Amino acid sequence: MADIIIDEWLWADLAGENSSDAKEQAFNFISRIYQKCDRIVMVKESKFMQKLWAFCKDAKDIWNRKIANFYNANFTYNMSKSVILEWGSLQSIPEQVVNETNPDDHYLIQALVTVDAQVVLVTTDRSLKDVLSRHGFNCQLKAEFVRAYVSQ
């Protein structure tokens, strides 16, 4: 079993903001996570969760409502498919990583440090990926990771 931390790109893709192909790929990705014995790691009240709730609230068409219902039923409210961390339980990150990364991304890195399992952070941010990889953290770019993950 692997734990996967996803940054906010997921909600832009699922909302169709990037393209219909990105939306389909993002839905296939979360569907595949559900089918496998893997889990999504989320931090309560984080930007990721705020965007999840905004996506649910703004889901006007039937497909976005189905996506919101699928995600909530299979991840948000399914403790066997998710790890939901409280802010107070997040571990600190090394100072050199703090200094080299955007403060908006610190909760993602803290989740990466906190989860004591095989975990990967999936991002579209190349500089974040480069910093984390240089410091020994498992961080993958969305384009390569999602494509490989869905095809497994």
Residue 108 exposure: Cα atoms within 13 Å on the Cβ side: 28
| pLDDT tens-place string over residues 9-54 | 999 999 999 999 999 999 999 999 999 989 999 999 999 999 999 9
Cα–Cα distance measured from residue 96 to residue 85, given in angstroms and rounded to the nearest whole number: 23
pTM equals 0.94
Class of domain 3-151 (CATH, top level) = alpha beta
pLDDT for 41 equals 97
So where are the chain's domains? 3-151
Distance of CA 70 to CAs 33, 66, 123, 142, 149, Å? 12, 6, 22, 21, 19
Tokens of 5: 């931390």
Q: What is the mean pLDDT of residues 43-70?
A: 95
